[in-house]
Structure 1
Amino acid sequence: MSMINVHEKGYVRLVDHMGSDLTVVNAARVSYSKESLELNERDVRLIKFLAQEGHTSPFRHAIAQFEVYAPLMVARQWWKYVVGSAHYEGTGDSLDAWNESSRRYITEEPAFYIPQAGEWRSKPANSKQGSGEPITWELGEKHTRELMAYVELGISKYEAALADGVCAEQARLFLPAYGLYIRWYWTASVQSVAHFLAQRLEDDAQQEIQQYAKAILELIKPIYPVSLEQLI
């Protein structure tokens, strides 16, 4: 399996990967001019030691590449893990890469994330961020209808602007932003992916990005099972 659907329209696709748990082991052992040809119990103990002691550089030699299609609100949360990935051990440079589709150049049919009536959540009782319990179905149905009408209005104005000859990079201003689906490639080390997963698999993470994090874990865990078990 290389792709998992998320929500009604989104998905995560594993495009490519480099290395395995054995890569992590051999990156650590190169200091002693040692190499393992097949992962064994001693290697598993080494990975556990590296993770527990914060010796994370060997985990940056294993790489995964994903294509993600998600609402803009998810993408902008996710982006924090790219711009913040250089803090590990004071490395100074990030091995993460992010390339995103742009409506400056493309005019494909806009797609939007619209929660269904039973998916709207209340504000949390004791926090300024996050969400609480689901609101009533009747109230959720009202806001689903209103959001759909808002999106349809934005699309009609966007298409009218294009028809009038307005350039795509300005016509897109009519599109409601946060629910708009965008597509990007994310290439990251196993350490960076694990850091993202450790944060966004938590129960208090926004539910929409939690679902994407679960898809990432399902795709990548068979490739790096030992490393992820120790890092998350």
Structure 2
Amino acid sequence: MNIINVLDNGYVRLVDHMGSDLSIVNAARVSYAKESKEFSDRDARLIQFLAREGHTSPFRHAVLQFEIYAPLMVARQWWKYIIGSAHYEGTGDSLEAWNESSRRYVTEDPTFYIPSSTEWRSKPKNSKQGSGDIISWELGEVYTKKLMEYIEIGMKNYEAALESGICAEQARLFLPSYGMYVRWYWTASLQSVSHFLNQRLAHDAQLEIQEYAKVIMSLCREYYPNALEELISTK
């Protein structure tokens, strides 16, 4: 099973995929009624050309489906790529799909992302977003404890509301949201996945989503090594 753990309780699982590097070059060559039976150096050069010249449609004939379990703060950043997929200039990609578990229906025990005392980061010096260096262990210990206490209060109120007969879709209001793990399926073309990777592997991306992007990259590379080499500018 293609599953890799991320953060403290998260994971990415490659559920399914369609196509390969060979699929990409054959999609490009169909204009000339040509087809490669086996991937060759000539095909690798064609992928280089397609990526370099911005001929993006062949890369949309390769599709991947992932199951992702991540804190809500990561999921909502990720969701921007679904909203923008049909409108982003140059992609023309309207084939993305996102289906997420809902606490209107699911009442399994919530799981929360809790940074350890050595994982809290300072605010950046020269930017309004992002983060800086790791703060001191002593201060990190204080805020790990505060977060755990906050989650405990929210969980008690959530469980009390359910026990009192409050519906799940309203009881969930008591749950601390941004650190709560959510599960979803993401299906996207290789071009769209590459756009996500180029932005979220960048050094100024939020660290937590960078960790997920690294895993997505590793799972994709097995099936599309040549295409990824040309499409990803942040190696």
TM-score, normalization by structure 1:
0.98
Gaps of 5+ in 1: none
Code of the aligned partner of 1:181: Y
**What whole-Å deviation, never above 9, does each CA across 1:80-119 have from its counterpart, x for those lacking one?**
111112224373x511100000000110100000100000
- Deviating runs (4+, > 6 A) in structure 1? none
Code of the aligned partner of 1:104: R
- The Cα shift of 1:203 comes to 1.1
Distance 1:128 1:89 in 2: 29
Distance 2:51 2:29 in 1: 15
Q: Which residue of 1 aligns with 2:64?
A: 64
TM-score, normalization by structure 2:
0.96
Q: Which residue of 1 aligns with 2:90?
A: 89
Pair 1:42-2:46 in alignment: no
Distance 2:219 2:128 in 1: 33
Q: What is the aligned length?
A: 231
SS of residue matched to 1:117: coil
Distance 1:90 1:139 in 2: 44
Distance 2:37 2:166 in 1: 59
Listed as ranges, the matches of 1:117-136 within 5 Å are 117-136=117-136
Q: Which residue of 2 aligns with 1:158?
A: 158
SS of residue matched to 1:67: strand
For the 8 Å contact 2:85–2:91, the answer to whether it is kept is no
Pair 1:227-2:227 in alignment: yes
Q: Which residue of 2 aligns with 1:177?
A: 177
**What whole-Å deviation, never above 9, does each CA across 1:125-159 have from its counterpart, x for those lacking one?**
00000000011100000000000000010000000
Q: Which residue of 2 aligns with 1:194?
A: 194
Distance 1:142 1:32 in 2: 65
- The Cα shift of 1:181 comes to 0.1
Coordinate RMSD, CA, aligned: 0.9
Task: Evaluate the alpha carbon distance shift between residue 90 and residue 219 of structure 1 in structure 2; reply closer, same or farther with a 3 A threshold.
Answer: closer
Q: Which residue of 2 aligns with 1:141?
A: 141
Code of the aligned partner of 1:199: Q
- The Cα shift of 1:218 comes to 0.9
SS of residue matched to 2:47: helix
For the 8 Å contact 2:154–2:174, the answer to whether it is kept is yes
